[in-house]
Chain A
Amino acid sequence: AQTVTQSQPEMSVQEAETVTLSCTYDTSESNYYLFWYKQPPSRQMILVIRQEAYKQQNATENRFSVNFQKAAKSFSLKISDSQLGDTAMYFCAFMKYNQGGKLIFGQGTELSVKP
């Protein structure tokens, strides 16, 4: 069975600074997908970034980038130039290659961006 672990329940960062959220996972699969979802106080789940395991290049989306270390089974999220609107709960999630609809989530990291 796959597991996803986020070991940082809470983090805070000053506006305009950089913060890194950690995620590790356990799987015996070689093909899979990893995601970071953002959940602001509105409760809406918003996809931030995704990574295909077969791609060595780390995914980036504007101020968001990941450090994907397949051998170490690590998938951290870096937020650059943090903004107040980044304040949210962040979830790391795993999906097996052929199992759409079955996301496995970590416990979440609550990020506070302070002015």
Chain B
Amino acid sequence: NAGVTQTPKFQVLKTGQSMTLQCAQDMNHEYMSWYRQDPGMGLRLIHYSVGAGITDQGEVPNGYNVSRSTTEDFPLRLLSAAPSQTSVYFCASSYGTGGIEAFFGQGTRLTVV
């Protein structure tokens, strides 16, 4: 099993550009989430989804859009990149509630110049 696959692993954007971070999982997990990791702040939840067609905002949603048209995919869109969005982004998936382990992708390091 591939688990959770994120692409790309590294990306440099210019301010104002748009891009989509891809996330796919092959474990038939209901729950998928996006986090950003910044030094000294841990990981913070951007958006999450409890199933296809259902998404909700997390702690830091501004500047990001998501959609979930299939169980497998959960892309994160930056509509107009800003230097404040320079970060490492992680996608995670898990099966249901009950404290089940979340599986993480390997992260995308994004730099906005």
Interface residue ranges, A against B (CB under 8 Å): 4, 6, 9, 33, 35, 42-45, 47, 50, 52, 91, 95, 97-108
Contacts and interface: CB of A to CB of B under 8 A. Distances in A.
Given A44-B104, A101-B92, 7 more contacts: A50-B101, A103-B35, A103-B102, A105-B35, A105-B43, A105-B44, A106-B42
A33 B98 CA distance: 8
B2 interface: no
A19 B49 CA distance: 37
Interface of B: 30-33, 35, 40-45, 48-50, 58, 88, 90, 92, 94-102, 104, 106-107
B106 A102 contact: no
B43 A43 contact: no
- Of all A-B residue pairs in the complex, the 6 with the closest CB atoms, nearest first, are A33-B99, A101-B31, A45-B104, A105-B42, A100-B97, A105-B43
Nearest to B93: A101
Contact of B49 (A9, A99, A101, A105): A101
A35 B40 CA distance: 19
A100 B42 contact: no
A78 to B, nearest CB: 20
Contact of A107 (B41, B99, B106): B41
B42 A107 contact: yes
